[in-house]
């Protein structure tokens, strides 16, 4: 019985030590990975036990999430990345000497809110909102000599490192327009925003509409994250 109690106590001590070491290392890694975000991110090391990963200096998965980042005038919100095959020596992590973080693979998601997308498009008076898998783009336009508030129902697409909103149909005061007016509006509410520098060297792979904005997905391989 005493042996069993001793083993349980030892196990609890090991688990406690594992959690303490993990929390310290997560804080050190977060400080290092803050360079590409506007604030120190939250870091969560996946897998248990932590110490076996820490002793080898190689972590199976690390999840990083941050509030926002700004890239060439485009504000990125709700950034999350899953890092696989992360290499951080334990002595460096605990000693606060982390300078570079080699990573085998990254998969990340981010959000450009509709308000931020409208600001980045640099067109005055625009309002964007979701409409199923399309985006409603509303703005003031002069059409055939008349000042109108026009709404375009637009598809969202990825072209290289640019996010495109391309109008598929138009409405004025909630009603479809004639082919003549549609022709006069063609291209005038199409929007194009550069997103060529996502955090952690992620390359855009997909975009889609969401309730709050344009949702971005990206990947990267064999990168070294540095301050």
| Domain total in the chain | 1
Task: Flag whether 20 is in a domain.
Answer: yes
Task: Flag whether 21 is in a domain.
Answer: yes
pLDDT, tens only, 2-44: 333 233 333 333 334 445 445 555 555 656 566 566 667 777 7
Task: Flag whether 166 is in a domain.
Answer: no
Top pLDDT among 83 and 214 is at 214
Q: Given a cut of 60, is residue 139 above it in pLDDT?
A: yes
Q: What is the mean pLDDT of residues 98-115?
A: 86
Query: What residues have CB less than 8 Å from 3, skipping those under 6 apart?
Result: none
Top pLDDT among 146 and 140 is at 140
Domain that holds residue 21: 2-105
Task: Flag whether 52 is in a domain.
Answer: yes
Model pTM?
Answer: 0.76
Task: Flag whether 40 is in a domain.
Answer: yes
| Structure confidence at residue 207 as a pLDDT band (50, 70, 90) | very high
Specify whether the CB–CB gap between 104 and 221 falls below 8 A.
yes
pLDDT, tens only, 182-203: 888 888 899 998 887 777 788 8
């Amino acid at each position: 019985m005493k042996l069993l109690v001793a083993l349980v106590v030892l196990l609890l001590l090991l688990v406690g030590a594992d959690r303490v070491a993990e929390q310290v290392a997560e804080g050190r890694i977060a400080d290092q990975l803050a360079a590409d975000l506007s604030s120190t991110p939250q870091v969560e090391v996946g897998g248990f036990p932590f110490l076996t990963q820490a002793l080898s200096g190689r972590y199976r998965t690390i999840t990083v999430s941050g509030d926002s980042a700004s890239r060439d005038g485009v504000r990125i919100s709700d950034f999350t990345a899953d890092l696989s095959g992360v290499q951080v020596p334990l002595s460096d992590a605990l000693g606060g000497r982390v300078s570079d973080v080699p990573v085998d693979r990254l998969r990340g998601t981010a959000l450009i809110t509709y308000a931020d997308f409208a600001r980045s498009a640099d067109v005055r008076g625009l309002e964007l909102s979701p409409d199923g898998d399309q985006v409603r783009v509303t703005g003031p336009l002069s059409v055939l000599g008349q000042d109108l508030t026009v709404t375009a129902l637009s598809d969202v697409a990825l072209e290289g490192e640019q996010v495109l909103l391309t109008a598929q149909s138009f409405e004025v005061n909630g009603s479809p327009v004639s082919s003549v007016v549609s022709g006069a509006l063609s291209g005038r509410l199409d929007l194009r925003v550069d997103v060529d520098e996502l955090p952690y060297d992620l390359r855009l792979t997909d975009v889609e509409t969401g309730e709050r904005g344009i949702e971005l997905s990206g990947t990267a391989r064999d990168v070294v994250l540095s301050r």
